[in-house]
Structure 1
Amino acid sequence: MLEALAGEAGAMALDYARRGMRSWTKAGASPVTEADIAVDRFLKRRLMEARPGFGWLSEETADDPSRLDRREVFIVDPIDGTRAFAAGLPDWTISLAVVRDGRPVAAALAEPVAGRIFVAALGHGASVSGRPLSPLGRDRVEGAVVAGPKPMTVRAENAGARALPKIHSLALRFAKVAAGEIDAGFAGGQSHDWDLAAADLLVHEAGASLTGLDGAVPCYNRPVPTHFPLVCAGFPLHGLLRQVAGEDRRRGGTS
C-alpha cells in the first residue's frame, strides 16, 4: 500500500511542478506550496480510509494529540525538500512510514524526479526499484563522502572526509547512505519525525545505523516530534563519525 501511494503522490507532485503552483511562507519561515497541501490531503484520505484506527502525524497537518494514544501512527512528509521542489531541483522526496510503539515498521520513500521508490519492512530488508539496499563499509573517515549541515561536515572534512553540496531532502540524504551512494549523512538539531521515520527504517534494514551522538536510535510519536543531531553511516564508520561530530560539543561548542 505505501509503495503504491508514494508513487501516486509523486506523480501528483510532478504534475504540479510542470503546471506551476502558488507558494508561500508558513510559521518558522519554511516554504510551502499548493502541491504540499494537495499531496498531504490525498495521502491522509487514502491512508486513514485504509487504517482508520491509526494515528496521523504530518508536516502539513495540524497536530492532533490523539496520535499519542495510538500504538500505530502514519508519519508523513508530503514533500521533503520543498525548497528544492519549488526551485525546480531534483532532490526532494515523498516520505511515508508506519510507526509502531515509537519505531518505524514499514516505509516508502519516493524520489519522483529519478523515478524510483525506496521501500522497507521491519525484518524483511530494504530495496529500491527491486534492488536490495547495501551501505558502504568504509572503515575510516579519511576519504568518506558525507552530506549534511556545514557545522557537522566541516568537522568530518577536518578528519579527511569529502563533503557534498547540500542534499535538500533529509530523507533522501539518509536513503543514499542505505543505498551505498554516499558514505554518511548528518542531521542537525530540530529535524522532525516526518523528515526521518521512513529513512530510518531504510537505513537499519539495509544494515547501516542512524543514531544520535550518544548512539541511541530515534524514538517517534512523542509529544514534541523533534530530534537532536544525528549521524547516519554503515559500520564501522558510524562510530568514528559519532566521535568526530561530537568533538566540538565536548569542547563546549554548538552545531
Structure 2
Amino acid sequence: MPDADDLQLRDLLVALAAEAGAIALDFAKRGMKTWTKAHASPVTEADIAIDTFLKDRLGAARPDFGWLSEETADDPARLGKRQVFIVDPIDGTRAFAGGLPDWTVSLAVVRDGRPVAAALAEPEARRVFAAALGHGATVGGRSLVAGSRETLTGARVAGPKPMVEQAQRQGAIVLPKIHSLALRFAKVAVGEIDAGFAGGQSHDWDLAAADLLVHEAGASLTGFDGAVPIYNRPAPVHVPLVCAGFPLHGLLTSTIR
C-alpha cells in the first residue's frame, strides 16, 4: 500500500530540488570554476555547493537516513540503512558547464533498494518532476502518462550510438544526445520521447529519481533481462538499461543488444 510518509518525502525533495536549481542557475549566470576529476569527468563549483546545501538540508530533515551522492566520498555506513538519500547535484555537468540546457538536479529516497520518493528539477525549462511510490508522477502538477507505442517505426529514441542505431534500422527516429541521463528517462515518462537507453556504468545517482518517475507514469526502466535496477549496493553501478512504455519496452528488450 502507498506510504503517506512518501508524500512528505516527495514534497521535501521537490522544494529542495527547486532551490538547488536556482543556485545552479545563479552560478551559470555569474560564472564558476570548472575542473576534472577521475576518468576526466568535469565538476564545477556549483556541483560542490549544491551537494553541500542538499546534504545539510536533507540530513537535518532525516538524520537517520543514509547518504549517497556523486560529489560526496562514499560512506559504507549507508549500506546498513534501510532508507537512503541518493543525489546528483547536477546530472549532466558537461552540458551545464558548456552552457547547454539539458542538465538536472536529481534527488531520490531509496527504501530497501528501490526508490519511493523523487524530484527531478530541469531548471532551464523551469519545471520540476515529482513522484511518490503508489501516488503517481507529475510535472508542474500535471500527471505523467507514458506513451503506449507498439512498434519502432517512427519511435523517438535517445541514447548511446550502438543502441539507437539498432533501433534506427527498425524504423526509429534518433534524437540528439540528451546529456542528463535522468532527463532522458524523464522525457519517456512525460511522453516527449518514446524510448531511452543507458550504456553500462551508469550510477545510482543518475537513475534513482528518474526510475520512480518512469514507473509511476506507467512505463518501465530495466536491464535487457527485464530486471529493475536495485540501489544502495556496495558498488552503485548498473548494467545497460532500456526505458520505454508498453508494449514498446518488451519489443526493445528482445531486439536491441
TM-score bracket, normalised by the shorter chain, equals over 0.9
Q: Which runs of 5+ in 1 are unaligned?
A: 247-255
Please give the residue correspondences for 1:1-255 in structure 2 after superposition, counting only pairs within 5 Å.
Answer: 1-246=12-257
Q: Give the residue type in structure 2 aligned to 1:130.
A: G
Pairwise CA distance, 1:215: 0.1
Q: Give the residue type in structure 2 aligned to 1:210.
A: L
1:81–1:92 CA contact under 8 A, matched in 2: yes
Looking at structure 2, the residues matched to 151 and 74 of structure 1 have their Cα atoms a distance apart, in angstroms, of 33
TM-score by length of 1: 0.96
> Partners of 2:68 and 2:20 in 1: how far apart?
17
After TM superposition, where is structure 1 displaced by more than 2 Å over at least 4 residues in a row? none
Q: When the two structures are aligned, how many residues end up with a matched partner?
A: 246
Aligned Cα root-mean-square deviation (Å) = 0.5
Could you tell me how far apart the structure 1 residues matched to 2:148 and 2:134 are?
Answer: 21
The SS at the match of 1:186 is strand
CA deviations on 1:47-96 (whole Å, 9 max, x unpaired) are: 00100000000000000000000000000000000000000000000000
When structure 1 is superposed on structure 2, of 237-246 and 5-14 the one drifting more is: 237-246
Structure 2 counterpart of 1:191, one-letter code: S
Distance apart, 1:159 and its partner CA = 1.1
Deviation at 1:202, TM superposition (A): 0.1
Contact 1:159 1:244 in 2 (8 A): no
* Residue type at the aligned position of 2:164: T
State the distance in 1 between where 2:254 and 2:198 align.
15
SS at match of 1:76: strand
Identity %, equivalent residues: 77
Greater alpha carbon shift after TM alignment, 95-104 vs 132-141: 132-141
Structure 1, residues 131-156: CA drift from partner, whole Å, max 9, x if none? 00011110001110000010110111
* Residue 244 of structure 1, CA deviation: 2.1
- Find the aligned partners of 2:126 and 2:20 in 1 and give their Cα distance: 12
Over residues 193-232 of structure 1, what are the superposed CA-to-partner deviations in whole Å (9 max), with x where a residue is unaligned?
0000000000000000000000000000000000000000
Structure-2 residue corresponding to 1:253:
none
Please give the alpha-carbon distance, in whole angstroms, between the structure 1 residues aligned to 2:181 and 2:256: 17
Q: TM-score, normalised by structure 2?
A: 0.95
Structure-2 separation of matches of 1:179 and 1:64 = 34
Instruction: For 1:245 and 1:55, locate their aligned partners in 2 and report how far apart those are by CA, in whole Å.
Output: 36
